[in-house]
Structure 1
Amino acid sequence: MIAPLLVCFAGPFALMASPLLVLPTVSAARWASTRFTGRDAWWWVPVIASVVAAAGTAALGAAWDLGPGPSALGWPAATTSLTAAALVARRTALRGGRVRHVLGWGAVVAVAVFAIGTGVFATGLVPEYRPPRIDTAELSRSWTDGEGGTLRLDADGTARADGLTDHAEADGDDAEPTAAKYRCSGRGTWSHTEGESTTWDQRVWIRIEGCPGLGDPDGWQVGGTPDRLELAIGYGDPDAPDWYTLTPR
């Protein structure tokens, strides 16, 4: 399974990554190094690579609706891959290597890092993150947003909000989104649906009178770990949402 994946994805990705990501990263690092330190320092490469990787993983996370957890896990992997490829490309360029050599070595490193990462996950040496599977009993408790707002979910399907922030109402306002006028309280109902094939599909549906923004049509996503659960709902730009997160009180 790994070999077809590498042939169909890693090869084309590596060939595109060299001119589109690796070389611009090297150029940006050399410019920043000269601009701010007065010399060409190699350690600017991981600095620039981390910024590029953060933007890339955030964009992919938003496009695929992955939520904050997977995006945070993907950022260091992307940073490592891009940094390794850019450092090799930088070394080749400093030695007077031709552009095709720079592109070639960048592609080789990108494939190697991707292959190692795929192997590590495929063999289970590093488990892939998945949200914990939870049931109604585990959800039936008090939750907090860490800013004074609380949500009580009872086993009979009733819900009670006290001082939660309605980000749907606050979005687009220049005022502080946690201001008192965007805090809402009320009673309503809630329900939980299990993912049909994966825990990524779990959703918590909340309807609170007086808090329309809490009843997102896409539901609340389940995240965190078994020891520290999270409920999160996106708001703002659909392509790059911010997240309002609740944790057990």
Structure 2
Amino acid sequence: MGWGKIRRGLRRARLNWTNDDRTVAVGVCAAQLPAAWLLSLFNGSAEDDYGVGTGGPALGLACVLLFAPLVLPVLGLVQTVAQIAPAALPAHLSARRFRGPGWAWHLLYVVLFGASWALLPVILWGWSFTATALVLAGLGVLPVLGVAYARRRARATGRRWGALGVWWRGGLGCFGLCGLALIGGPLVTATGLIKEYEPPKLSAAQLAGVWRGDNGAALKLLPGGRAHLTDLPAEPEFGADSAEDFEVCDGMGTWWLDLEGRDDRWAGEGPETRDGVVVRLDDGCAEQTYWTIGGTEREPELFVLFGDPDAGDLRILKRE
């Protein structure tokens, strides 16, 4: 194939993906995001939230309803420009070269583009590549099918949807998808496909060892109930004149395992009265601190939230 044929093929491919197609893709991308957000909330029940509050579901829903008309079109445009539209070019060329329905090739390249973009959060924030790629691939399915349906309808009727027609249909589709998410989310949770998070159950012997956090914080739990603290945040003394929600302490102290807040020496303020470790220094630096047990059996954690549960300072210790 000569360069002239390649250029003509690229030109035809670009013309094949029209502004009407982009409008439909943006509308479908935006319409599916609220339902995807709802599903993420149900999926979050399988993870430890560390007792951090978000203002409650009512506040979250109110924020979505308030800002969705402004944010969703922008997010839909971003996904279309980054994933849906670029995949249309190689899809058209592959359909002409190897035959087959164009929408099927479009789906294939949308998945590949999604996998490519999944590398970015993996590198920047250490996300799971498989999970991120699957999410991006899933978010690309409906826009591709929506464009294919709009094209087929235009060929059958001789009329294309305008921007207004796309967006009011997208609004109806958004409500429908949210309804399915509200039904499907509790269903998969009830059937056990998504299991609610359960913190690990650790004995005192399993807790013994060195636990490290940020900024050099370290907690060494010795067998027999002794503890050594290094730059460890702790609950400030009652009435302490400090602008911080915690104090940083060093030295020796004691620790004990508190099962679901049943120990009489502690009121049990861990999230949902979960098992925790109570630590107190010998020299009186700060009050005793309740470190809640979290993480998993293979990778346990100790954490405490200082200050306001909705906007507090979360500190996490991981086993060395």
Taking structure 1 as the reference length, the TM-score comes to 0.54
1:149 alignment partner in structure 2: 217
2:165 alignment partner in structure 1: 96
Give a deviation string over 1:186-245, Cα, whole Å, max 9, x none: 2221111223899862121111134644623xx211111111111011123343212111
1:24 alignment partner in structure 2: 67
Give SS of 2:250's match.
strand
1:247 alignment partner in structure 2: 318
Q: In structure 2, what is the Cα distance between the partners aligned to 1:170 and 1:138? A: 37
How much has 1:93 moved relative to structure 2? 9.9
User: 1:67-216 maps to which residues of 2 (within 5 A)?
Assistant: 94-96=163-165, 105-166=173-234, 168=236, 172=243, 183-195=248-260, 201-210=274-283, 212-213=285-286, 215-216=288-289
Give a deviation string over 1:157-194, Cα, whole Å, max 9, x none: 22221232458589746xxx9xxxx6421222111122
Question: In the superposition, relative to structure 1, how do residues 96 and 222 fare at CA in structure 2: closer, same or farther (>3 Å)?
Answer: same
Q: In structure 2, what is the Cα distance between the partners aligned to 1:222 and 1:133? A: 8
2:77 alignment partner in structure 1: 41
More helix by share: 2
How much has 1:248 moved relative to structure 2? 1.3
Question: In the superposition, relative to structure 1, how do residues 160 and 149 fare at CA in structure 2: closer, same or farther (>3 Å)?
Answer: same
Instruction: Tell whether the 8 Å contact from 1:171 to 1:236 is kept in structure 2 after alignment.
Output: no
Question: In the superposition, relative to structure 1, how do residues 26 and 165 fare at CA in structure 2: closer, same or farther (>3 Å)?
Answer: same
1:222 alignment partner in structure 2: 293
Higher relative contact order (CA 8 A, sep 6+): 2
1:235 alignment partner in structure 2: 306
Question: In the superposition, relative to structure 1, how do residues 192 and 94 fare at CA in structure 2: closer, same or farther (>3 Å)?
Answer: farther
Taking structure 2 as the reference length, the TM-score comes to 0.44
Q: Which runs of 5+ in 1 are unaligned?
A: 1-12, 34-39, 45-75
Q: In structure 2, what is the Cα distance between the partners aligned to 1:200 and 1:103? A: 42
Instruction: Tell whether the 8 Å contact from 1:131 to 1:200 is kept in structure 2 after alignment.
Output: no
Question: In the superposition, relative to structure 1, how do residues 98 and 186 fare at CA in structure 2: closer, same or farther (>3 Å)?
Answer: closer
Question: In the superposition, relative to structure 1, how do residues 165 and 201 fare at CA in structure 2: closer, same or farther (>3 Å)?
Answer: closer
Instruction: Tell whether the 8 Å contact from 1:222 to 1:229 is kept in structure 2 after alignment.
Output: yes
Q: Which runs of 5+ in 2 are unaligned?
A: 1-56, 81-131, 144-149, 151-160, 263-270
- Identity over aligned pairs, percent: 24
Q: In structure 2, what is the Cα distance between the partners aligned to 1:24 and 1:199? A: 32
Q: AA paired with 1:184? A: C
Instruction: Tell whether the 8 Å contact from 2:299 to 2:319 is kept in structure 1 after alignment.
Output: yes
Q: AA paired with 2:79? A: W
- The number of residue pairs the alignment matches comes to 178
